[in-house]
Amino acid sequence: MMKKTLTILAMAGLLGIPAHLSAQRAKTGNPVLPEFHADPEILYAKQTNKYYIYSTTDGTPGWGGYYFTVFSSKDLTDWRHEGIMLDLGTDQVKWSDGNAWAPCIIEKKVDGKYKYFFYFSGNTPNGKAIGVATANHPCGPFTDAGHPIVDRRPEGQKHGQQIDVDVFEDPVSGKSYLYWGNGYMAGAELNEDMMSIKPETETLMTPQGGTLQDYAFREAPYVFYRKGTYYFLWSVDDTGSPNYHVAYGTAKSPLGPIEVAKNPVILIQRPEQEIYGPAHNAVLQIPGKDEWYIVYHRINKNYIKHQPGVHREVCIDKMEFNEDGTIKPVIPTHEGIKRVK
């Protein structure tokens, strides 16, 4: 493990991580994080009254990053690097040997105290699997469960990987759910301990139909609730394609079935602005307000013709709704968003 750790540290040095990630960003606008990151997850923590971004560390061949970092912000524009919070290249996660991909996190109160459940994908001898680590603070230290909690495809599903996990607490029932999938979309209710799923609730819920030009499901499910409706967002095409984009549907329950929206594409490239492949998103609601933002990665324009799938950057733009509850098309920008107070 020592060799892996030294390689990680050397790579971080080449990227300039120790030198400047520990300070706040000097500018606003997109991208919001320095260097290369992908598959962003965002959390507002009631314990600290801060926002946090967790992401896949990018910029390495074959999506070969070993660790997850966390950034914090008070206003969604100035982000501070808080360090590596989970490292699959060490004994911190014994069941996986790398490919730390696509995390998600949820804050829960357990016995009157805040606790954080961090779900992630890692490589195993039998392919990709999903694990969970816990902490008492959004920045850690995190302790891995010691084993994956999803390590197989849903029954009857012959293709796809156990990656791109999302966690959602239903405000109606108070129950929590886990979603995942690449090539398919699955969902299941979590047990009360948040450390395992209820196998009898596992549901294959892949949105049906579509093409790479509109809404054919590829990966990265994301779920949120607004005004009586469950929204399901997902990514279309390949993460290395300029056409990588976000589509959505809605449902009346956390486990579907999903009805694809009439106009499903809500986030897509703007070549005239040199914005390519904006997808694999998370969604943030400002606490207590009907104010929403979409957090996503897109391909760094300097790598659009060279290793585009592993040079991605994290961005934030505003997301708005029509009066009937449908999502307005999001305009991906270089300017980004204003500071949130």
pLDDT of residue 246: 99
203-204: strand order across its sheet: 166-169, 176-180, 186-189, 203-204
Distance CA 288, CA 121 (A): 31
The model's pTM: 0.92
Contact criterion met (CB below 8 Å) for 206 and 283: no
pLDDT of residue 6: 35
Local mean pLDDT, 10-residue blocks, the chain (341 residues): 36 36 58 97 98 96 95 98 97 96 97 97 96 98 98 92 98 98 98 97 97 98 98 98 98 98 98 98 98 98 93 98 98 97 82
pLDDT of residue 255: 98
189 beta partners: 177
pLDDT of residue 100: 97
Distance CA 268, CA 272 (A): 12
Nearest in space to 91 (alpha carbons), one of 143, 55, 17, 126 = 143
pLDDT of residue 14: 32
pLDDT of residue 99: 96
